[in-house]
């Protein structure tokens, strides 16, 4: 077995640090544009996070990562004179990742529990459900897995209907707070129409957010009560 030389370790460290710096810089710029105040610990070698993002009275511990292959790393690695080392992240090390997706020059923010998951930037050519990057553009604790059908993928020819994919990508899912308010203001069908999605998609959003919807017959009773006034 060939042991890495000291020079090799230094080059590896430099390369890794460059990518980490790029990810952190991209995350700071993106979070700042989203209205967050971003703080970087003066000494962070022994901390489980790189940044602190603050907004509306809430603080988020953020670990910046550079993802060349769209996989959210669930461990940290480093090299020293004793060789290469790895350590798996623990649930309380930080709150969210800030993953820089180099292929599309975007930063996403999955919760730490998404460590090890692949978050796609292109539709797959298989029937397996997948996570889509646009569902993580803000700090995200829950996300629905997408299917190839939403992106116009034809599995018989392995081709993608680009018009269908573009239409799907412009749909921005509401936050939990927004959706919780909407479901008690108007019927699911109306919400679906406003967002350009199906009723089933809205149902999935509610399920993912664990939002309680009005009981069956609620809107009929409400309409009747209004007519009786």
pLDDT of residue 16: 53
For strand 83-88 and strand 119-120, is the pairing parallel, antiparallel, or unpaired? unpaired
Work out the mean pLDDT of the chain and round it to a whole number.
80
pLDDT tens digits, 134-165: 999 999 999 989 888 787 766 665 555 544 44
Phi-psi region of 32 (alpha: psi -120 to 50; beta: other; left: phi over 0): alpha
pLDDT of residue 161: 54
pLDDT tens digits, 182-224: 999 989 888 888 887 888 888 889 998 999 999 988 888 877 7
Q: Which position has the higher pLDDT, 70 or 78? A: 70
pLDDT of residue 54: 95
Percent with pLDDT over 70 in the chain: 79
Question: Please, which residues have CB within 8 angstroms of residue 223's CB and are 6 or more apart in sequence?
Answer: none
Beta strands in the chain (DSSP E): 37-39, 51-55, 58-67, 75-80, 83-88, 96-101, 106-108, 119-120, 131-132, 153-154, 159-160
What pTM value is reported for the model?
Answer: 0.60
CA gap 63, 135 in Å, rounded: 18
Q: Which CATH topology does 6-170 take?
A: Trna Endonuclease; Chain: A, domain 1 (3.40.1350)
pLDDT of residue 82: 77
pLDDT tens digits, 95-113: 999 999 988 899 999 999 9
What does DSSP assign to residue 218? H
pLDDT band, residue 12 (cuts 50/70/90): very low
Q: Where in the chain is the domain with CATH 3.40.1350.10?
A: 6-170
pLDDT band, residue 40 (cuts 50/70/90): confident
Residue with tokens 């479901």: 183
pLDDT of residue 166: 43
């Amino acid at each position: 077995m060939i042991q890495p030389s000291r020079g090799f370790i230094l080059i590896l460290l430099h390369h890794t640090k460059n990518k980490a710096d790029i990810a952190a810089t991209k995350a700071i710029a993106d979070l700042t544009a989203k209205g967050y105040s971003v703080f970087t610990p003066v000494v962070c070698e022994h901390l489980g996070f790189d940044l602190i993002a603050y907004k509306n009275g809430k603080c988020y511990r953020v670990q910046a990562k550079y993802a060349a292959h769209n996989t959210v790393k669930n461990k940290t690695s480093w090299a020293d004179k004793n060789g290469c080392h790895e350590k798996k992240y623990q649930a309380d090390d930080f709150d969210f990742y800030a993953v820089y997706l180099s292929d599309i020059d975007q930063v996403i923010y999955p919760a730490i529990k998404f460590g090890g998951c692949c978050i796609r930037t292109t539709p797959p050519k298989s029937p397996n459900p997948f996570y889509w990057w646009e569902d993580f553009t803000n700090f995200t604790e829950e996300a629905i897995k997408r299917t190839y059908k939403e992106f116009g993928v034809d599995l018989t020819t392995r081709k993608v209907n680009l018009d269908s994919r573009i239409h799907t990508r412009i749909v921005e899912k509401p936050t939990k707070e927004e959706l919780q308010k909407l479901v008690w203001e108007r019927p699911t069908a109306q919400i679906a129409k406003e967002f350009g999605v199906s009723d089933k998609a809205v149902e999935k959003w509610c399920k993912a957010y664990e939002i309680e919807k009005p009981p069956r017959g609620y809107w009929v009773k409400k309409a009747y009560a209004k007519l009786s006034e």
